[in-house]
Structures are given as structure tokens and as C-alpha cells.
Structure 1
Amino acid sequence: MAPGRAGRGGGLRDRRRHRWRPPTGDGDRPQRRRRCSRLHRARRGRHRAPGARRLGSARLRGSDLRAPCRRLPVDGRPRGLRRHARQGPPGRPPAEQERTAVSVLVIDVGTSGVRAAVVNGDGAVEHVRHRHVLPTSPAPGFVEFDAREMADAALAVAHEALQALGPRGAVEGVGIANQRASTIVWDRATGKPVGPGIGWQDLRTVGTCLALQADGIRLAPNASATKAAMLLDLADPDRSADLCIGTVDSWIAWTLAAGRLHVTDATNAGVTGLLRADASGWASHVLEALRIPEAALPTIVDSSGVVGEAEALPGSPPIAGIAGDQQASLVGQGATRAGLAKVTFGTGGMLDLCVGPERPAFEARGPQGTFPIVAWRRHGRLTWGLEAVMLSAGTAVEWLRDDLGLIASAEESDRVAAACPDTGDVWFVPALLGLGTPVWDFGARGTLVGITRGTGRAEVVRAVLEGVAHRGADLVESAEADGDTAIASLRVDGGMSANATFVQALADATGRAVEVSPVLEATTLGAAYLAGLALGTWTDEDDIANRWSPARVVEPGRAVDRERWRAARDRALATVPELSSLQF
């Protein structure tokens, strides 16, 4: 037999049998042969469509991304790549095969780490592996990360999750979910980043945003546009180098495809600040103002659809789903019908409302501070949504833990807050990074009011949880107003959704039932659903919606004083007037 090739972590790849197996130490004898799909056979020269080009077989080792980029044609479909066909186990009815034969690997890149998991045809999330990739803050308002470390972590956890599958260690496709708007610039020939990755929370380009505002171009500092321009100014002032610009999904797709794909999906493109309002392509007037070469930008592709092969993984499964984390969470919680909404409470908080095929009427920001977003794109057709933004959510709990020392862990906040029945009229406004929807004031700052001699640890911790809950209610009210729709119940996920005191406070503040996701991080499930739609695992968006089943439903338990909350919120505004003047 042909010898296997060493891959990441010392495992061997048996080229003839196309499966990944760990070194055995006993002569490296092949294990059970896995049935190959049509796509895998096509890569070896069989069943290739007439005129189809064979995709390269380069493999990544760590962060060695030296293969040249293969740009996609305008329609976003790679030449020569046929629809991935799959077969279920023999002897089972077709309907059962549809649910059991497919597993999807998801790589989910968050703000603080990288997760990989395998999602099976029943929607169960298995074999979760995680690596911390923490951002740094070299100066006030700066947020950076190491893109090379991120790529290494993504490959490591992906291989670990696949190896955990054991004898059936193969997946039919790959989905990607990612923190949005964080920006990376790298050399197309070498695959090496030319500077640090710039996190979505980074505010160093506020001055650029203010200057552009005077010229009639309104960009938010947390969008990718000014971050990309800043990185280009540092690495390529005269714009002569052959560089790639991308958000995290672009970087991970490039990594998985051994440098042969430079793509982004419509959900990620939509939050760069560089996309046309109708999502039909890149906005040339913004590119010109920032001196961003369009050739350096990725091809925009469907959120659900096969775009290329993950050649850095065993079996080279197709990359079939890509979405920004919030849109992936929307899909993962089954909110794929107009009028359904979810809120993800992570570092920040994001409410996303599914609107449907028609774009919201306002071009940029609605009267109540929400934004039109691409919820997903499938078969070239857009589904639109509205997004309302909370800049600080879990960050406020981290402040209690890391800076004040009032709790030893985020989980302890639930127990400590439950020790008192209420805050004693103490109000906390979580504006540690400014306030988003509905007021949008980057100069607002965190505020704690109503403290008396009787205020203790429990009251302060509870005030923080209730403050985040009231901000959640702000998002709901704004989305209902700008979307001209009623949100009957609210679906929630993210780390704070495991906090019982917080979830009850959210139900009280919003005055409606809160449905808690059965999966803490629904982004992973959503990316799997999008990939599975492309692979035929699930039939359509209604199929996804019908699969929703919350872990628990929390009903409102008491009335709250929302006017009192708004008065406290107003006191947090314009603390830093220079930043408060930024409008977009």
C-alpha cells in the first residue's frame, strides 16, 4: 500500500482509503474502509463532470498557508465542484437515512476561543472541542488577536472532533460560524497575516469614522471597513501589494481550503460597512474613500451552499455553510420564519428578528436604532432581518468577577443575586463600552445609581444582572417598533442563558415568555443547519423552524418599572462627549 502522510497531531492519512486514522504502531495497517462520496471520487478522477477541473490536494500543516488563492467566479460556485452526494446506511428506509446518515463538522470562532463540534442528522451536538484564543488590549480602546494562533486552533479542534468520532470518523460537510466584523489582512502568496487581527470591539478608528461622516459616509467603528483601511495603511501604504482582506469566516475558509478559497458569505459581508445597501455587491464609493482595492476583497457567496473543499481536513469534506455568529444563532434557534426573534447574550447582546424576503424600508439605521441585516442567503435569494445591539452583556459579569472581585466565577452570579429578593432600588446601566440600540451613544459609560449604606454584595450583583435584562427589553421594544411587528416570545442563547436569575429578570423586564435554547451556543447548530440544507440533510427553512424545542420556558413573575430604568439609562449618556458626537 502507499504510505500514509503525516498530518497535524501525528495522525496518518491513508490516501487509497481516504480516511483519517491515528498511528497504530503495528505496521500502520489500514482499518475498515469507508464508503466514499461522489465528491471524494471526483477528486481522484472518477465520476468527474465533463470539463470539470480537479481541485488541488495541498494540505495545511499548522499555519503554513502558501498555496495560491483560487478566486471564485461571479456566481460564487467553484468550477468543477459537483453537488455533494451522500448515501445512508444500507437497509434503512430513505426517510431514516436522511436523519441518521449525515454528520456536519462545525468550526465556531468566538471572541474568546475556537470551538469545533460534530452535529448529527438529529441535530445533536457531539464531540465538542475548544481552545482559548483570547484577544489582547495593548492600549485603551484597542482590541487585537493573533490570526495565526486562531488558524492553528481551528485546525487543532477540528481534527480532535473528527478523531473523537472513532471508526466512523468522517463528516459529509463543514459549517463555519464566526465573530463578525473582526478583520484580518494577509499576503495572498504566503498566507501570512501582515498585522494583528483587529477585533470587532476595537475603537481606534473612531477618528476616521468622524472624518468620513463629514463627507457623508457613515460607518460604525465596530464595522470592518475602517479596520481594513487601517491595516492596509500600515502594511501597504501605496496599495501595491497583493493582499487579501477578510473577516474571520474568510480566514477560516482560507485555512481549511489550504489557501484556495477567498470567500465570505452574505451575512458577514453585510456587517463590514463595505456592502451595498441591497447586498448586491461591494460599495465602490466606500472602497474609493478608504482606498481599499476590490481585488483584495473576498467573493460573496451563499450562506448555505457548497463553495469548496476543506482540504486541510481528512477526506476533504465540502465547506457547505458559512454565517456570522448572530445569524447562525437565529437559524440555530429555529427563528427562520418572519416574526420570530432571538437574543444571544454573550460578551455583548444581539437581538435578531427574521423579517423575510423584503428588505426593511430604512437604508441604514431605523428610528429606534436597529439595522437591516442579511439573515442568510440561499440559492442566491436573500432573507432579511433586523438587528438590535447591546455592547455590554457578559462583559458586565466579567467586570464583577475580574475587576471588583465580588464573584469567583460567572456562574456564581446566579447564586449571589438570588440571595436577595430585589436590588433595593439600585440600578446598573451596562454601558462599559457605550450604549447601542436604541440610543447609540459611544460616549455613554457604565452607571450604578441608588446605592445606600444598606446596599451589599448581593444587591450589586443582582443589579448588574437586571441591568442587562433591561437592556434586553430595550432591544425587544426597538425591534418591534422598527419592524412594525409584535414579538410574542423571545428565544435566548449564549452563556448568560444558563443563569436562572438573569433569565427570570429578562422575562420580567420584557413582559413575555422567554424560551431558553436547548443548546447553550446555538451558533454551532445554526451553522450545521445551513450546511445541512446545502447537503440535503434538512429540506428547507420550515423544516428547521419545526425542529425548535426549548429546554425550558420562563414566564414573567412580576411587574417592573421600565420608566425608572429609562431614567437611570439617561444618566449614563454623553459621559465622553467627543465619542457621543459619533453618528452613523
Structure 2
Amino acid sequence: MVHEGAIAIGLDLGTSSAKALAVEVATGRVLARVRRPYPTSRPEAGAAEQAPGDWMAAVVGALGELAQSTPAQRWIGIGLSAMLPTLVCLDAAGEPVGPAVVWEDIRAETDARELAAQHPDATAYARTGQHLDGRYLVPMYRRIARTDPGAARRIARIAGAKDYVFARLTGVLLTDPSTAVGSGVSAVADGAHASGDWPELPEVRPSTETRGLVDGVARLVGVPSGIPVALGAADSVLGAVALGARPGRDVAIISGTSTVILGTRRSPEPDPGGRSLVTPLASDGFGWEMDLVATGSAFAWLAGLTGAPSVEALLAEAVETDPGSAPLVLPYLGPGEQGALWETGLFGGFTRLTLGSTRGDLMRGLVTGIVLEARRCIAVIDPPEDGRLLVAGSSARSPMLLQDLADACGRPVEADLVETDHSALGAADLVSTACGSAPIGRTHGAPHRFDPRSERAALWRELAERQEAALRRERARVAGGQR
């Protein structure tokens, strides 16, 4: 049994920062939260790298700050969540070999194609539930082996970002089912890794598996050693947990640097059209997942490019523009898009510009493009009529965007405009359950509801047709080898 006043810690290793929450188990109240950023290096075109040492400095610092602001003797455990796929290469002693390769890195596309051609059984969509591209761990590793053979000779194992953090906190290298599929060669049904010309991958264990916090880290943080650390799950999976997505009914939309759209399923059957990923959930069931690569990052880019004081200020300017009169924006600023398209050769573009176009108009067009790609993903998931669209995240707090989403999809949208760290909250929920408590409840009130406006349905059908026409032109450009 969990003692009175118990506190669960949720830790999310995000793309730009580590977020940690201390949550009172009995009430669900967030007692304290910490965010510790770390840099991303982009040493060449298409590169995105981070230092694992920066992660651990942020993790230890965040946990230490929580330990100073909450009574550590009441901590019952630490749950983990993280971005994926992000590659960490390890030597025989478990030390990193070179920088971690973040999911934003697009340098391994050639390696992904070669991997699929050489190992079709290992990488088949029907087996892995993944639409392989250069953002998976094994293609990332193969690029390193191709470009830096000396480093490759030192690599004994490869792992995901959360696997590495778990190993540093507990001394044991393990992975969970939702993280395992980020290798690109692991079976979605049971996590079994295919073997090939790549190093060993971590053993797959349930998300609720726990190990004790090692003495060295406990001393640095200022908490008792041996506190259970739950292996946890992918950020998308635990974000859905915190939103209360009902299996087989709801769609969870978590929007930050990118946007994850996750519909739940009872079995690991893949989408016949190959448009979605299949992601094991933290408990029972699987998710059909689609990721819009550039959403929050695209908003930040446009605000910086146009000199807007902030993303929020630019979104406020965009409210004055109707989507029907805004410039048309293809939001594939990754470059390339996953979503329901899986076309890495696509690039973003602006059309229908005039001398009168304002930066607010540009932002309105970007929001419209992103909403239409989300609409495409939700149509693939095809939730039942009573299924909810549950939205949260730092880049989905604009009422304009949320109303657009409801209008475009013809479905009510329920948005949490208070809590932004849902993946960390889901990690706290998971470790609470792993330690014998009931799931943590939400205490910050009902979500904001945005009902679709029937009179806007025709407009959004027209906007979708307009974007499809622009997408066909972009595909023709790519096919013609144009830049």
C-alpha cells in the first residue's frame, strides 16, 4: 500500500528540455515542477545532436530541485518518459560513444532505404508497425558505421534516450515496448529484436518494471537510495495516459516541438494503407500514431523570421485573418513529413502571397496547414462517433487553432489549457500504479470544449482541396528532381 501523503515523480526527457513534476498521489495536485533545458547541436545540414551528459545534468538537477521543494521521504517512485527515436551509442562499459542523434536528424535516409532492402523481413511494416525512415535507431547507427568506422568499432550496444537515462539512474539497461519499436527492427506484438549487422539492443520489459535508484545519483539528488524508478514509456503514450484517453475510442493530440496524434486500438493490427505507426501502449492495447514533424518548431521559426515578439503575439495577430483568405502554407518544414504522408522529400512552401500579406496572415496560413494535416491523420484513425479529440501541449493552447481543429474535423475538441507537461504527468501516473496506488486523478478542472460550427464545414472542405492541389504540385516538383 502507498502511504498517506505519497508523492510520485514524473520525469520527461523532451526534445529541448527535461521536465519533472512532483505529484501528490491522493489528490493529483502538482506540488512542484522544474524544467531544465539543454542545447541541440546542428553541425551540418540535416543534423540534430545532443550530449547525453547534458541530459543527465538536467535530470539530476531537476530531481534535486524537486527534492529541495518537496519532502523526499514521501517520494514513492520516479516514472520516466522521453522523446523517441533518439539514438545513444554505448561502448562495452556503457559509456556514450559520440553525441546522441536526435529524432529530428534526417541524415540516415539512404541508410534506411538500404536497411529495408537488405533486411526486408526485419523491417517489414506488418512486423514492426513502423514506416521505416532515417529517424529510427538502426538506420542512424548504420550512418555512423558508414561515415565513422572508427567510432563504430567502439560501439557495443545501441539504445534509446530513455533507456540510457534509466541505466544511469538504476545501473540496468532496459527498454519498454513503446521505445523498442523506435529501433525500426523490433516486433510491435512482442518487442522481439531482429538480429543483423547492428549492435545489441536492450532487453524489452514492461513499462511498469522498476529498479532502485543507485547510491551515487541518490546522493547527488538528495534522496534515499533505492527509490523505485519505473522504466516508463514514450512521451506520446504517457501523454495519452494523462489525458485520460479511453482505449478504442479517443484520439490524444500532444503538441509541442512536434505534434503526436494517437488513436487507441485493442490489437497490433497495422493500418492497411501503411499511413500510421503502431505503438504499444503502457498497459494493454496499441496506438495508431502519426507525428507532424514541425508544429511548435514551425511557429517559433515564423515568429523569429518575421520579428514577432513571441509566438503567442503572432498567433494573436493571426486571429484577425480568416483562413479562407490567408496564404496557402504547406507545413512540411522538417523538411519532409511523417503524419499520414510519410514523404521525407517534401518541403514547406508559401503560395497565394500578395504585397498586402502580413505576418499574421502567414501565421494563419501555417496554422491552417497544420490543422489540415491533423485532420488527415484523424481521418485515418477514424474514431467512433462518441470518440473525443483530446488536446494538450505547449503549442496547442491557441483557441483559434483549437476551434479550427473542431471545425475542420467536424468533432468536438476537449483541450487542457492549464497543464502543459502531460508526458511527465503520465510518467508520474505510471509509477504510482507500479507502486500499488490507483492512477492519479486530474484536479485542475474540466477541459475547455470547442464544438464544431456546421457553417464552417464547407470552408474546410475547400481548404483541404486547395492544400491537396498544392501537395500534388510539390510531389511533381520532387519527382522532377527540382530544388
Q: Which amino acid aligns with 2:160?
A: T
Alignment of 1:108-507 (within 5 A): 108-121=12-25, 122-165=27-70, 167=71, 170-189=74-93, 191-215=94-118, 216=120, 217=123, 219-231=132-144, 241=154, 243-257=156-170, 260-284=171-195, 288=196, 291-294=197-200, 297-311=201-215, 312-313=217-218, 314-316=223-225, 317-356=227-266, 358-360=267-269, 362=270, 366-367=272-273, 369-377=275-283, 382-405=284-307, 407-422=308-323, 424-432=325-333, 433-480=335-382, 485-486=384-385, 488-507=387-406
What is the match of residue 70 of structure 1? none
Task: Kindly indicate which of the two structures has a greater share of residues assigned to helix.
Answer: 2
1:511 counterpart = 2:410: yes
Q: Which amino acid aligns with 1:293?
A: P
CA-to-aligned-CA distance 1:158-177 (integer Å, 9 cap, x gap): 11111111x55541100011
Determine if contact 1:305/1:531 at 8 Å carries over to the other structure. no
**Cα gap change, 1:104 to 1:188, in 2 (>3 Å):** farther
Whole-angstrom CA distance in 1 between matches of 2:95 and 2:386: 45
Whole-angstrom CA distance in 2 between matches of 1:238 and 1:163: 40
Q: Give the RMSD, CA atoms, in angstroms.
A: 2.6
The CA deviation at 1:226 is 1.2
CA-to-aligned-CA distance 1:537-562 (integer Å, 9 cap, x gap): 216xxx87x98964311112333332
**Cα gap change, 1:411 to 1:577, in 2 (>3 Å):** same
The CA deviation at 1:150 is 1.1
What is the match of residue 528 of structure 1? 428
**Cα gap change, 1:246 to 1:280, in 2 (>3 Å):** closer
Secondary structure at 1:506 match in 2? helix
Whole-angstrom CA distance in 1 between matches of 2:91 and 2:199: 14
Secondary structure at 2:303 match in 1? helix
What is the match of residue 451 of structure 2? 555
Determine if contact 1:205/1:227 at 8 Å carries over to the other structure. yes
Counterpart pick for 2:463 among 564, 571, 580: 564
Whole-angstrom CA distance in 2 between matches of 1:197 and 1:491: 32
Whole-angstrom CA distance in 2 between matches of 1:254 and 1:579: 45
The CA deviation at 1:152 is 1.1
Q: Which amino acid aligns with 1:181?
A: P
The CA deviation at 1:210 is 1.9
Which consecutive unaligned segments of at least 5 residues does structure 2 have? 125-131
Whole-angstrom CA distance in 2 between matches of 1:567 and 1:421: 15
**Cα gap change, 1:222 to 1:485, in 2 (>3 Å):** farther
Whole-angstrom CA distance in 1 between matches of 2:194 and 2:469: 36
**Cα gap change, 1:187 to 1:387, in 2 (>3 Å):** same
Q: Which amino acid aligns with 2:268?
A: R
Secondary structure at 1:270 match in 2? helix
Q: Which amino acid aligns with 2:329?
A: F
Determine if contact 1:368/1:478 at 8 Å carries over to the other structure. no
Secondary structure at 2:224 match in 1? coil
Secondary structure at 1:127 match in 2? strand
CA-to-aligned-CA distance 1:168-197 (integer Å, 9 cap, x gap): 5541100011001101112342x4321111
**Cα gap change, 1:227 to 1:172, in 2 (>3 Å):** same
**Cα gap change, 1:256 to 1:147, in 2 (>3 Å):** same
**Cα gap change, 1:459 to 1:171, in 2 (>3 Å):** same
The CA deviation at 1:420 is 3.1
Q: Which amino acid aligns with 2:64?
A: H
Determine if contact 1:309/1:318 at 8 Å carries over to the other structure. yes
Which consecutive unaligned segments of at least 5 residues does structure 1 have? 1-84, 89-100
Q: Which amino acid aligns with 1:506?
A: L
Secondary structure at 2:282 match in 1? strand
The CA deviation at 1:133 is 0.9
CA-to-aligned-CA distance 1:450-491 (integer Å, 9 cap, x gap): 2233322222221112221122111111111xxx74563200
Q: TM-score, normalised by structure 1?
A: 0.73
Higher alpha-carbon Rg: 1
The CA deviation at 1:411 is 1.5
Whole-angstrom CA distance in 2 between matches of 1:229 and 1:547: 46
Determine if contact 1:447/1:571 at 8 Å carries over to the other structure. no
Q: Which amino acid aligns with 2:87?
A: T
The CA deviation at 1:531 is 0.8
**Cα gap change, 1:234 to 1:208, in 2 (>3 Å):** closer
Determine if contact 1:181/1:272 at 8 Å carries over to the other structure. yes
Identify the structure with bigger relative contact order (alpha carbons < 8 Å, sequence gap 6+). Answer: 2
Q: TM-score, normalised by structure 2?
A: 0.87
Whole-angstrom CA distance in 1 between matches of 2:58 and 2:181: 26
Q: Which amino acid aligns with 1:367?
A: G
Whole-angstrom CA distance in 2 between matches of 1:414 and 1:571: 24
The percent identity for this pair of structures is 22
Determine if contact 2:87/2:158 at 8 Å carries over to the other structure. yes
The CA deviation at 1:566 is 3.6
CA-to-aligned-CA distance 1:378-418 (integer Å, 9 cap, x gap): xxxx421111221221122012122332x221211221112
**Cα gap change, 1:157 to 1:163, in 2 (>3 Å):** same
Secondary structure at 1:172 match in 2? strand
Secondary structure at 1:408 match in 2? coil
Secondary structure at 1:304 match in 2? coil
Whole-angstrom CA distance in 2 between matches of 1:399 and 1:315: 43
The CA deviation at 1:104 is 1.0
The CA deviation at 1:366 is 3.7
**Cα gap change, 1:487 to 1:437, in 2 (>3 Å):** farther
Alignment of 1:58-73 (within 5 A): none
**Cα gap change, 1:470 to 1:126, in 2 (>3 Å):** farther
